[in-house]
Structure 1
Amino acid sequence: MADLSPIDLQKALKGADYPASRDDLVSLAKRNGADEHVVQMISQAGTDRFDGPDEVQKALFGNQ
């Protein structure tokens, strides 16, 4: 996951309305023109629903 930056994630999820499902975030990332790797990482997140961007960050990056 080292090649996925928090900035790339923020760009991919620009305009997200929370709470959001993982599928909603994947669709949004695609609409925002996110790199396929970013889309894949979101789609493989271990959580089905996110209450906010902090939860997405934790799911993808852990407690860095």
Structure 2
Amino acid sequence: MSEPQNPIEVQRYLGGVDYPADRSALVDAARDSGAPNDVVSALEALADTSYDSPTAVSEALAR
């Protein structure tokens, strides 16, 4: 990932996600919501673990 994603933009594409959610659920939700490739790529680059909240996803993207 070349630069950190805007957490507000990312969360816009993850609006229907039930947490906890793993990386693949986040990627699928983003694709289903029509997220641009850079957002999908950023989510694909996350560690393959369970995220318990939107905040946890935003923090992981900021790393």
Query: What TM-score, normalized to structure 2?
Result: 0.86
Q: Look up the SS of the partner of 2:15 in the other structure.
A: coil
After superposition, residues 1-64 of structure 1 pair within 5 angstroms as 1-2=3-4, 4-62=5-63
CA RMSD of aligned residues (A): 1.2
Check the 8 A contact 1:12/1:33 in 2, yes or no.
yes
How far is the alpha carbon of 1:47 from its aligned partner?
4.4
Q: Look up the SS of the partner of 1:10 in the other structure.
A: helix
Query: What TM-score, normalized to structure 1?
Result: 0.85
Residues in 1 aligned to 2:59 and 2:48: alpha-carbon distance in whole angstroms: 10
Residues in 1 aligned to 2:47 and 2:35: alpha-carbon distance in whole angstroms: 20
Runs of 4 or more consecutive aligned structure 1 residues displaced over 3 Å after TM superposition = none
Kindly, what percent of the aligned residue pairs are identical? 36
Asked which structure has the greater RCO (Cα within 8 Å, sep 6+), the reply is: 2
Unaligned runs of 5+ in 2: none
Residues in 2 aligned to 1:16 and 1:30: alpha-carbon distance in whole angstroms: 12
How far is the alpha carbon of 1:46 from its aligned partner?
2.2
Q: Look up the SS of the partner of 1:7 in the other structure.
A: helix
